[in-house]
Amino acid sequence: MLVLEPASDDAPCPRVGIFDDAVPSAAAFATVHRTVEGRQAQVRDAIRVSVSGALSRVDYEAPMDVDITYRVQWFDSAGDDLGFSEPATTRIISPRFLDGRPRLLLHNPLDPRTAVWVHPGRGFAQSISRPVPGRVVWGQGRRLGIAQSERRRGLIGVSLDVVTDTAQEAARFDALFGDSTTSRMPILCVRIPAALRFTLLDPVWFAAVYEPVAIPDTAMWTEEVAWRMRADEVDSPVPSLVRPLLTLGDIAAYYPTLGALAADNPTLLALSRRYEIAGSGGS
């Protein structure tokens, strides 16, 4: 049976735990599919993964405040399709903040630990464009032209202006794009909660941002920083790529002895699902 465990806390960000112990006897691999408002996607780090007795994965790109339906596709050792599990549906309720101001969530798709909540800026999503490339051509002697077009594109040139409140938030946001020692692709996973859906932005999408511009609050001398960004919607980075969250270093740092580890985790499967201790090793 497919079991879904939605969570809206920051460990490291809102997510859905996916667990299924009803693995077909012939199954050797599995892929998890997510459907939101008619749009389908494969779940990162859950594509042709090896299964033995149970499947356990976490979707860190699940949107908030909308119904999310998951299905597991099973494959045998030869890679032949064995069919799908029964679908299951859940919903992540976006957190509410004490100041009552709406926020959106951004993170590097390959590392959900980079997630940061930001406020929409004054120019946020002022206009939305999903163009249809094409042209009108006129044949010789024709009074009316003939429309030639391609498939409609995703978002182009969206004003993704946001605001960070503190110096710590600003540093965390700036680190999304890398620095002199860390290289990161300029792609953000953007998650829009219900409070901001009036902008007509999808609940989850991927934005390519090449020139984030920081504008410190030099007028009031606060730590608030406005960030001006122009974003184009792009395809998700290869969904099979992900930075491991739970490492052997985390486990060794959290459990002082093997006895403590065994007492807390009766099986290796249980240990593999201890995502809350990720980062204990400082990685």
**Predicted pLDDT of residue 50:** 92
pLDDT for residue 120 is more than 90: yes
Give the strands of the sheet with 111-120, arranged side by side.
158-159, 230-233, 204-208, 187-191, 104-108, 111-120, 162-164, 225-228, 213-216
pLDDT for residue 220 is more than 70: yes
Note whether 141 and 154 are within 8 A (CB): no
Computed over every residue of the chain, the mean pLDDT equals: 90
Beta strand spans in the chain (E): 2-7, 15-20, 29-36, 39-42, 49-50, 55-59, 68-75, 81-84, 88-90, 104-108, 111-120, 134-137, 146-149, 158-159, 162-164, 187-191, 204-208, 213-216, 225-228, 230-233
Give the number of other Cβ atoms within 10 Å of residue 53's Cβ.
8
**Predicted pLDDT of residue 282:** 58
Give the model confidence (pLDDT) of 127-165 as tens digits: 999 999 999 999 899 999 999 999 999 999 999 999 999
Which residues make up the CATH 2.40.30 domain(s) of the chain? 104-233
- Of 178, 239, 179, 163, the C-alpha closest to 206 is 239
Question: Tokens at residue 123, please?
Answer: 């120019």
Say which residue, 214 or 263, is predicted with more confidence. 214
**pTM of structure:** 0.83
Segment (H or E) for 268: helix 268-272
In angstroms, the Cα distances linking 7 to 33, 80, 248 are 19, 33, 24
Q: Which residue has the tokens 């184009």?
A: 232
Which residues make up the CATH 2.60.40.10 domain(s) of the chain? 1-95
Least confident of 79-83, 104-108, 113-117, 254-258: 254-258
pLDDT for residue 106 is more than 80: yes
User: What CATH class is the domain 104-233?
Assistant: mainly beta
**Predicted pLDDT of residue 25:** 94
**Predicted pLDDT of residue 245:** 61
User: What CATH class is the domain 1-95?
Assistant: mainly beta
Give the model confidence (pLDDT) of 180-212 as tens digits: 788 888 999 999 999 999 999 999 999 999 999
pLDDT for residue 283 is more than 60: no
Give the number of other Cβ atoms within 10 Å of residue 218's Cβ.
7
Give the model confidence (pLDDT) of 32-90 as tens digits: 999 999 999 999 989 999 998 899 999 999 999 999 999 999 999 999 999 999 999 99
d(C-alpha 106, C-alpha 207), whole Å? 10
How sure is the predictor about 257, in pLDDT bands with cuts at 50, 70 and 90?
A: confident
